[in-house]
């Protein structure tokens, strides 16, 4: 009975949520098959590109002036794993409760947007709408594990160049308030691994110049920097309205030293270790000069004679400058939202998405998930989205995308 009343766009969304594209073994065969079948059913041009090693589904609505730069709607199809014990329902059943809340991994990140793009494209086809520009939809793999077989190599291919992309809409975040957030830049993730070497000796003596000592002094300087950034975010909130995306976060995530096999108590507690290591997850806003920040890290480590290497390094971190009066894409995007009475809050994305590869090419990208009045639950337990919010999102894209495609 309930099944009959359900909006077909919601049914498609729930079907897609049930496809197991969770890491570490996302079923891209199933997701690709699903998307290709939908494209055929909806009358969208569609091809599967395998040049990066994993399938990328590319759909298209041809414009009347196809030589103009195109509009690209991009979604990743993979999702992060779900720890079943922490969920109140199976995260791959797409269970819908009586309020219309749909619970599943990917309801917010970002199978919602993936299917909203598909459903809005279906509306365009059904209504026979014609745009000036080509409109593309891309469905890419492996965003959640760094995109090294996804968007990162894809933007360097001839296939991508063929699309002649003028602007991109990709994922944003849910907003817990009435306002909608739109992201114009991201923080660069740097993972650094610091190694200290020092003198050894018996644990009963005052050995000087130990690895641990040197490492700790460096860690303390870095933790002081962390505190300063924390204060900037929390204490300066009222005057300057700093958000997480505006400050540099730094977390000590790896710590290693000690002689012996372990675990407790199988260490040599009376031996000073000659090596101590620390790893940090650092996220740097695009307003920070990366070169100067690298100098800062060199200074922190060289003062103690420590070495470091990167486990993850981003050399370039471009943003889409919303204050640029020539950025007509933004004007049109903003005005379209104004017309629908949506309040937009531009922000820097606190983590990383595929948009970074787009922006580094100099192509503007807006991170926008049309989800408001919803707690931010991406990667969290019991991730959900209400079906009404989801359906309204399709209407919202319908109010924006034609204006961009006709610009």
Q: Which residues are catalytic?
A: 78, 143
Gap between the terminal Cα atoms of the chain: 44
Interacting positions 8-47 with Zn ion (CB under 5 A) = none
CB 372, CB 341: distance < 8 Å:
no
Minimum distance between the CB of residue 2 and Zn ion, rounded to whole angstroms?
29
Least distance between Zn ion and beta carbon 159 (Å):
22
Question: 28 CB contacts (<8 Å, ≥6 apart)?
Answer: 21, 54, 55, 77, 78, 141
Question: Six-digit token pair at 107?
Answer: 């309801």
3-state secondary structure of 141: coil
Q: How far is the CB of 312 from Zn ion (least distance, A)?
A: 17
- Helix ranges restricted to H, 54-162: 111-126, 151-154, 158-162
> How far apart are CB 109 and Zn ion at their closest, in Å?
4
How far is Cα 187 from Cα 6, in angstroms, rounded to an integer? Answer: 39
Q: Which residues contact 384 (CB under 8 A, 6 or more apart)?
A: 101, 102, 103, 104, 107, 108, 377
The CB density around residue 125, as the number of other CB atoms within 10 Å, is 12
**Spatial distance between the Cα atoms of 29 and 19, rounded to a whole number of angstroms:** 10
Cβ at position 288, least distance to Zn ion in Å: 23
CB nearer to Zn ion: give 77 or 250.
77
Sites for Zn ion among residues 76-115 (CB under 5 A): 109-110
Binders in 167-186 for Zn ion, by CB under 5 A: 171
| CB nearer to Zn ion: pick between 38 and 105 | 105
Please give the sequence-ordered ranges of beta strands (E in DSSP) within 212-327, or none if there are none: 249-257, 275-284, 307-312
Which range, of 47-55, 165-173, 301-309, 382-390, touches Zn ion by CB under 5 A?
165-173
User: What span, in angstroms and rounded, lies between the C-alpha atoms of 169 and 148?
Assistant: 20
Q: Which is nearer to Zn ion, 171 or 197 (CB)?
A: 171
Residue 369 CB, nearest approach to Zn ion (Å): 9
Query: Which positions from 109 to 148 touch Zn ion by CB under 5 A, shown as an x/- string?
Result: xx--------------------------------------
Mark 205-234 with x for binding to Zn ion (rule: CB under 5 A) and - for no binding. ------------------------------
Query: Which lies closer to Zn ion via its Cβ, residue 286 or residue 367?
Result: 367
16 in Cβ contact with 98 (< 8 Å): no
Report in angstroms how near the CB of residue 67 gets to Zn ion at its nearest.
32
| Residues contacting 279, CB < 8 A, separation 6+ | 191, 192, 193, 194, 252, 253, 254, 255, 311
DSSP state of 204: T
Number of residues that bind Zn ion (CB under 5 A): 3
Is residue 354 close enough to count as binding Zn ion by CB under 5 A? Answer: no
Decide whether 107 or 336 has the Cβ nearer to Zn ion: 107
Torsion sign across C-alpha atoms 134, 135, 141, 145: positive
Q: Residue 155: helix, strand or coil by DSSP?
A: coil
DSSP code for 157: S
Which is nearer to Zn ion, 145 or 232 (by Cβ)?
145
Q: Which is nearer to Zn ion, 110 or 407 (CB)?
A: 110
* CA gap 110, 105 in Å, rounded: 9
The answer to whether 182 and 169 have CB atoms below 8 angstroms apart is no
Interacting residues with Zn ion (CB under 5 A): 109-110, 171
């Amino acid at each position: 009975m309930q099944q009959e009343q359900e909006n077909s766009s919601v049914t498609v969304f729930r079907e897609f949520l049930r496809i197991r594209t969770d890491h570490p073994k996302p079923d891209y065969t199933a997701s690709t098959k699903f998307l290709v079948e939908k494209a055929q059913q909806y009358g969208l041009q569609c091809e599967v590109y395998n040049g990066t090693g994993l399938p990328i589904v590319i759909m298209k609505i041809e414009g009347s002036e196809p030589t103009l730069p195109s509009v690209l709607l991009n979604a990743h199809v993979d999702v992060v794993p779900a720890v079943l014990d922490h969920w109140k329902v199976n995260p791959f059943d797409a269970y819908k409760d009586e309020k219309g809340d749909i619970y599943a991994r990917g309801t917010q990140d970002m199978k919602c947007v993936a299917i909203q793009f598909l459903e809005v494209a279906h509306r365009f086809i059904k209504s026979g709408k014609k745009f000036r520009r080509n409109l593309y939809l891309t469905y890419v793999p492996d965003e959640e594990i760094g995109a090294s077989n996804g968007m990162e190599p894809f933007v360097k291919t001839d296939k991508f160049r063929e699309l002649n992309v003028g602007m991109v809409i990709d994922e944003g975040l849910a907003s817990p308030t009435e306002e909608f957030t739109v992201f114009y830049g991201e923080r660069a993730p740097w993972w650094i691994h610091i190694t200290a070497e020092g003198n050894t000796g018996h644990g009963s003596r005052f050995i000087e110049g130990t690895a641990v000592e040197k490492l700790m002094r460096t860690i303390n300087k870095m933790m002081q920097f962390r505190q300063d950034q924390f204060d900037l975010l929390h204490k300066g909130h009222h005057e300057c309205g700093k958000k997480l995306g505006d400050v540099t976060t730094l977390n000590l995530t790896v710590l290693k030293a000690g002689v012996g096999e372990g675990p407790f108590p199988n260490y040599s507690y009376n031996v000073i270790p000659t090596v101590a290591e620390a790893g940090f997850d650092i996220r740097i806003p695009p307003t920070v000069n990366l070169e100067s920040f690298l100098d800062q890290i060199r200074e922190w480590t060289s003062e103690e004679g420590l070495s470091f290497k990167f486990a993850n390094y981003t050399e370039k971190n471009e943003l889409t400058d919303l204050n640029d009066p020539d950025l007509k894409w933004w004007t049109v995007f903003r005005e379209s939202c104004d017309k629908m009475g949506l309040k937009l809050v531009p922000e820097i994305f606190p983590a990383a998405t595929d948009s970074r590869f787009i922006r580094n090419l100099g192509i503007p990208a807006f991170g926008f998930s049309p989800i408001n009045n919803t707690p931010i639950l991406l990667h969290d337990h019991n991730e959900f989205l209400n079906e009404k919010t989801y359906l309204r999102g399709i209407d919202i894209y319908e109010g924006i995308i034609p204006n961009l495609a006709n610009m």
